[in-house]
Chains A and B, each alone.
Chain A
C-alpha cells in the first residue's frame, strides 16, 4: 500500500512538472513575450526596445532557467543598471541585500498579475473561494440526484422505469453546459418564458440566493448527472445479477431489503471513482458556466487571463487546475482501494 502510494505520488509530481513546463513554454513563446513587453512598456516601441525591455526584466535567459526561477529552484535573476540592483526577488524600493535568493511557486511567490494589478496568490484565493461555493452546491444537487436515478434505473434492468431514466441520462449527457445554460436562461430568465430566476450570477458574488444561483448550479449539475447516473446504473445492474443477490432473494428477503441492504453498498463503489474523476470535467463546466453567467470565479479568471495574455496569472491558474486533476485522480485510486474489501484485505 505504501509503495503504491509513493509510486503514485512520484508519477503525480512528474506529471505536474511536465504539464507546468508545457504551459510555461507555451505562454513564454516569443510572440507572447513581445506582446507583454508592448502592453507593459507602450505599444509603439521598436523591436530593439522590446529586446532590451525583455533583457531588463529577466526574460532573456534560457527557458529552462526561467522555469526554474518561476518554480523556485534556481536563484532569481538580478540585474544592475546605474548602480541600482533590480531582480526577480527584489520588490521595487526594498534593499537588495535583504531579498531572498529564491522566489517561486515553492516559496509561495506566485507572481504578479499584469491585468488585475494584484498578487496572483490573492486573486486565486478569492476566486477559488467563489468557485468552491459553486462547486459545493453543484455537488449537493448532482451527487444525490444522479445516485438515486442510477440506483432506481439499475435495480430492475429493462423495466419501464429503467428505460425512462436511461433516456433522461442520455439526454442530459448530450447537453453541454453552453446549450443547457442558454436554454435555461431563455426559459427561466427572459421575457420568452417565465422570469423566475436571474440570467446572470454576478450578484451571487456578494450574496447567494435561490434567484441568482439556481441556474448556474443546475447548468453544471445537469451535464454531470447523466454520466454519473449511467455509471451507477451499470454498476447496479452488475451487482443485481450477482450470486449473493439471488441467494438473498431465494432466502425470502424482500426486494426492497435486497436493494437497500445488500446491493446498494456494493453498487456505490464504482460511482465513487466516477464522481472523483468527474472533478476535472466539472472544471470545464465551471469555466463555461462562469463565463456564461458572468460569475467571476476561477473559470472566469482563467478565461480572462488567457484572453489578455496575463502570463503569471495563467500559470497560476494552470497549476491549480493540474493540481485539482491530479489530486482527484489520487483520491479516487486510494478511495477505490479502501472501499473495495477484496483489494483492501489482500
Chain B
C-alpha cells in the first residue's frame, strides 16, 4: 500500500486553508492593536432610532475576524466530513483519523443537539450553552470522554504489539502486512502511536475525575468543620494542609512512588486513610438529613456502611500486598500495577488545596443570615454545614472541580514523565511523552502526539471552567 500524505486527495484545499489562516492571524493582531484606540461601544444608536455598527479600520477588522474564523471552521469541517464519507485512505491521514473517530463525532453531535434542545431545563449545565468559550471547552472535553469510551473501536492496532519494521516510522506509513497504516507513525519500539494515544485517553479519563472526586470528598469533609467551628481544629488542620502544600510535589512523588517505599506498604496505608473519607462523608450526609427519622436513617447508614465498606476494602486491598483484607475471589476492583499508588498520591496532593478553598468559602458563608436562622431553628451543626452551607458554595466548587481535573491530568503526566507510577509500557500520555522525548532528534511524532492530546484536554477543561464561572456569575 501507498504511504499516506497528510491530506490525500483533499490537498487542493490546503492553499486555501493556509491563506485563510494567515489572514485570520493578521486580522486578529490588527484587531488587538486597533482596539487600544477604538471607542468602547461596538454599536452606536442614532437619534432617529437606527443602529450603526462600528465602522472604520477597527470595525472592518472585527468583521474580518468573524467571517474568516467562520470560513476556517467550515474548511476544518470539510476535512472531517470528507474524511468520514470517503473510503479509508483517500483523504489522507487526517481523513483516516476522522473516519476512525466517526462514533465520537456522532456522539458529540447527538449530545449537543439534545443539550441545545433542552437547554432551558438543564440548570447550570444548560446555561453553559450560552457561552461560546464554555461550549468549545465542553466540546473538547466530551471529545476525549467519548474517545475513551469508544477507544476499543477507534484504535487501529493493539497497544503493545510491536512491528519491528515500523520503528520511528513517519505518520502514514503502511504496515508490512498491508492491512492498514500507522496513522500517526510508530514509536521507538515499533508500536502504533495513534492507538496508544487513544488507549491512553481511557487511563486519564478514568483516573483524573475519580481522583479529583476523592480529593474533593477529603477536602470537603475536613474543610467544613475547620471553617465552621474554627479554633484549635482549624489551626491544626490548616497547619497540616500548609505542611503538605509546602512540600515540593515532585519530591513527594519520588519519595512515595519508589519501589522501596511501595514495598513497605506506605502508599497503601495512606490510601486506607484517604479512602475512608468518602464513606464518612456519605454517612454524615445521610445522618444529618434523616436524623429525625431514625428507622430510615439506620437503614441508609447501614447500607452505606455495607456497600461502601465492600468497595472500600476491595479498592484499598489487593491480595498479596501489605493490605490484603478480602480474598482474591471477593475482590471486586483490581488495580493494575501501581495504579492505586498513583491514585493515592494524586488525591493526597490535591486535597489540601480543596480543603483551603472549602474552608475559605465556609468562613465567608457562615456569617450569612440564613445560617444564623438555621442555628436559631435549632438545626444541628452538621446539618447546617452540609445542607445549608455546602449547596450555597457549589458555584466556586464546580468551577474549581473542572480546573482541578485539568491539574490532576497534568500531575498524572508529570508522574509518567519521570517514569514513576504506572508501568513503562502503559500507554498513558505522560509515560509516552517520556519515552518519546529521548529520541526527539530522530523522530518527533511519538512525543508530540500525546503532548498535544494532553494539552487539548487540559485546555478544554480550563475553557469549560471559564465558561462555567462566567455563567454562574450571571445569576
> Which A residues contact B (CB, under 8 angstroms)?
11, 14-15, 18-19, 22-23, 26-27, 29-32, 35, 156, 159-161, 164-167, 170-171, 173-176, 178-179, 181-183, 185-186, 189-192, 199, 280, 283-284, 287-288, 291-292, 302-303, 306-307, 309, 317-318, 321-322, 325-326, 329
Contacts and interface: CB of A to CB of B under 8 A. Distances in A.
B436 interface: yes
Contact of A178 (B32, B433, B444): B433
B254 A307 contact: yes
A182 B247 CA distance: 26
B320 to A, nearest CB: 17
Given A27-B255, A179-B455, A186-B444, A161 B260 contact: no
A186 B261 contact: no
A120 to B, nearest CB: 15
Interface string B240-272: 001100111111001110101101101000000
Interface of B: 28, 31-32, 35-36, 40, 62, 133, 239, 242-243, 246-251, 254-256, 258, 260-261, 263-264, 266, 406, 410, 413-414, 417-418, 430, 433-434, 436-437, 440-441, 444, 447-448, 451-452, 454-455, 458-459, 461-463, 466
Contacts of B417: 178, 288, 291
A170 B444 contact: no
Please give me the 5 A-B residue pairs with the lowest Cβ-Cβ distance, nearest first.
Answer: A306-B254, A31-B260, A174-B459, A174-B458, A186-B444
B451 A160 contact: no
Contacts of A182: 433, 436-437, 440, 447-448, 451
Given A23-B251, A190-B441, A288-B414, 16 more contacts: A15-B243, A22-B247, A31-B261, A35-B260, A156-B40, A160-B62, A176-B410, A178-B414, A178-B433, A182-B448, A183-B448, A190-B440, A283-B248, A284-B249, A287-B248, A291-B417
Contacts of A26: 255-256, 261, 266
A306 B255 contact: yes
A18 B264 contact: no
A302 B461 CA distance: 31
A73 to B, nearest CB: 21
Contact of A31 (B263, B434, B463): B263
Nearest to A307: B254
A176 to B, nearest CB: 5
B29 to A, nearest CB: 9
Contacts of A159: 35, 40
A309 B259 CA distance: 11
Contact of A329 (B246, B247, B433, B459): B246
Contact of B462 (A174, A283, A284, A287): A174
A330 to B, nearest CB: 11
Nearest to B253: A306
B455 A174 contact: yes
Contacts of B32: 160-161, 164-165
A171 B413 contact: no
